[in-house]
């Protein structure tokens, strides 16, 4: 049971570290008393490069999360005795998730990305699509946690419940970890979408249907 607590503590530490990093990245620069200069509006190419770098950083975090779970889960699985079906199930489920998440991250880093869009509309569409994918993932992660909780709680008095509890607890941990990772990436994407909004606020359509960008 102590090993299960170690894995849960690791997930909590990862959560706090990612949250602290996200908060630190969003803190405005201290310009001194009374100096409230408006934030500069980013350019399209800056937002595109920021999205591509953020996607790679997200995949790296998912990859490290997968590697940690693969190694830790395999160790728990291998060290579990026949009298510890819950521990073995927890380790097996955790290792399986780690393998899948690591493979997804590796494939995304190797073959994902592609050429950056060179048109503002395509850049905004790519960012919006990325944000929607993360939203879907957040919903799936919440679903994983619900399924895991059901496995861990239902059927307490039935045969094989210890093993189901181990599998269910592992699914809850995985859903929680991925929820944190995807939430951090989604919040960053929302911030870039605000940058696109700042650009759109500067666009003016003239009576002759020409488009002008207002320079502050």
Q: pLDDT tens digits for the chain (216 residues)?
A: 444 545 555 555 555 555 455 445 444 444 455 545 444 545 778 888 999 999 999 999 999 999 999 999 999 999 988 888 888 999 999 999 999 999 999 999 988 777 778 777 788 889 999 999 999 999 999 999 999 999 988 877 778 778 999 999 999 999 999 999 999 999 999 999 888 887 766 655 555 544 454 544
Q: What are phi and psi of 205, to 5 degrees?
A: -105, 120
Quick check: is 214 in a domain? no
Given this model, what pLDDT does residue 202 score?
60
Structure tokens at 4: 């299960």
CB 87 within 8 A of CB 4: yes
Task: Determine the Cα–Cα distance for residues 164 and 150; give it in Å rounded to an integer.
Answer: 10
Closest CA to 98 of 43, 170, 33: 170
Task: Determine the Cα–Cα distance for residues 91 and 96; give it in Å rounded to an integer.
Answer: 9
Quick check: is 85 in a domain? yes
Task: Determine the Cα–Cα distance for residues 18 and 92; give it in Å rounded to an integer.
Answer: 26
**DSSP tag of 129:** H
Q: Is 168 helix (H, G, I), strand (E, B) or coil?
A: helix
Quick check: is 126 in a domain? yes
Report the greatest alpha carbon distance in the chain: 80
Quick check: is 28 in a domain? no
Given this model, what pLDDT does residue 35 score?
46
Quick check: is 158 in a domain? yes
CA distances from 58 to 45, 64, 214 (A): 20, 10, 34
What is the model's pTM?
0.75
**Residue 14: other Cβ atoms inside 10 A:** 18
**Full domain range(s) for residue 136:** 40-203
Closest CA to 183 of 144, 131, 143: 131
Quick check: is 115 in a domain? yes
User: Domain count of the chain?
Assistant: 1
Quick check: is 212 in a domain? no
Quick check: is 12 in a domain? no
């Amino acid at each position: 049971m102590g090993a299960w607590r170690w894995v849960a503590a690791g997930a909590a530490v990862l959560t706090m570290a990612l949250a602290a990093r996200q908060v630190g990245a969003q803190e405005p620069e201290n310009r001194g008393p009374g100096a409230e200069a408006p934030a500069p509006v980013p350019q399209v190419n800056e937002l595109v490069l920021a999205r591509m770098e953020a996607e790679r950083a997200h995949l790296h975090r998912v990859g490290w999360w997968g590697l940690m779970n693969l190694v830790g889960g395999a160790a728990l699985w291998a060290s579990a005795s026949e009298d510890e079906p819950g521990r073995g199930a927890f380790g097996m489920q955790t290792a399986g998730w780690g393998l899948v998440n690591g493979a997804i991250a590796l494939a995304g880093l190797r073959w994902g990305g592609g050429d950056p869009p060179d048109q503002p509309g395509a850049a905004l569409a790519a960012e919006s699509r990325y944000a929607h994918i993360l939203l879907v993932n957040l919903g799936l992660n919440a679903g994983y946690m619900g399924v895991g909780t059901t496995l861990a709680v239902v059927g307490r008095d039935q045969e094989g419940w210890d093993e189901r509890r181990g599998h269910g607890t592992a699914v809850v941990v995985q859903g929680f970890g991925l929820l944190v990772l995807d939430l951090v990436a989604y919040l960053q994407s929302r911030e870039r979408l605000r940058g696109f909004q700042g650009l759109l606020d500067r666009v003016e359509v003239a009576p002759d249907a020409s488009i002008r960008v207002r320079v502050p």
